[in-house]
Structure 1
Amino acid sequence: MNEIYIVIPGEPYRKTHQSGTHIGQGRTYKDAGLREVESRLMEALKPYVPSAPWNGPIQLAVNFGYETRNVLKDREPKITKPDTDNLMKTLKDCMTACGFWWDDAQVAEEFASKFWTIQPHITIVVSKMEQ
């Protein structure tokens, strides 16, 4: 298997490492909201985890579709927070914890988009790249 296709129905998360990580008493910690996001995300990812973590370079393409009830806004780019880089950081950390790969540094190429849609979801395509 060289590609994994994942669709997670429902509203994508808005809480990311940027908004859910805090510094206190000389340490960094995750607030309850971020821990909840990570827990739910990892639960949704579990059925797609490969039998062994992938080696080598990986391509990751993700679409974050946020809910709108306005048909005219369907597929219109979302230009408000959260930022795609923060969304991707949270997702990659969860995918690493689940065992998709050994280290998220293996993600050599990534694509992220966020938009408004009538049917909210996250679509993820993970592919092994040629070496």
Structure 2
Amino acid sequence: MSELLLSFTVAGVPIPQGSKTVFNGRAVDANAKKLRPWRRQVTAAAKAAMVAAGIAEPFEGPLVLVHEFVFERPKSVKRSHPSVKPDGDKLLRALCDGITDAGVWRDDAQMVRWPGRKVYGPNPGARVSVYREKE
């Protein structure tokens, strides 16, 4: 079993980090206005969890990121799972960049496994756990 290093929850509707568009000669995320606040929330939650756990330095070595994105089910939707947009890989990209900004790890390239899912639930957000992968 891998060693749990950090666990935290981010409140709010998860926002994907999507495709880039060119604006004034710069590449900008297409949904930057919604993305920036979400990434700030991820960064703040991760930093707060690090402080609470007494962690001052980024984790080193191979890591596992277990994540769950929670979306509120619209009243008109009958399906059991949120098998529609946003894409899981784009949600993960925003989550990982926010975690990197918090200094949890040096780079998200340290992730060797990243099991996750999207679910419906009453409290939108993300549940995140970082583990050290056993060598």
TM-score (norm 2): 0.80
CA distances 1:39-83 after superposition (whole Å, capped 9, x unpaired): 22212222113310011000001011111376x969x32111111
Q: What residue ranges of structure 2 are gaps of 5+ in the alignment?
A: none
Q: CA, structure 1 residues 117+2, in 2 after alignment: closer, same or farther (shift >3 Å)?
A: closer
1:90 aligns with 2:94: yes
Letter in 1 for 2:88: T
Q: Which digits, 9 at most, give the CA deviation of each residue in 1:87-106, with x for residues without a partner?
A: 00001011111101111100
The verdict on how the C-alpha distance between 1:35 and 1:121 changes in structure 2, with shifts beyond 3 A counting, is closer
Q: What do you get for the CA RMSD once the two structures are aligned?
A: 2.3
* Structure 1 residue runs without a partner (length 5+): none
Q: How many residues align?
A: 126
Q: Is the 8 A contact 1:69 1:118 kept in 2?
A: no
Q: Percent identity?
A: 25
- The separation in 2 between residues aligned to 1:46 and 1:110, in whole angstroms, is 20
Shift of 1:2: 4.1
**Aligned residues of 2:46 and 2:104 also touching (Cα < 8 A):** no
List, as ranges, runs of 4+ consecutive aligned residues in structure 1 with deviation greater than 6 Å: none
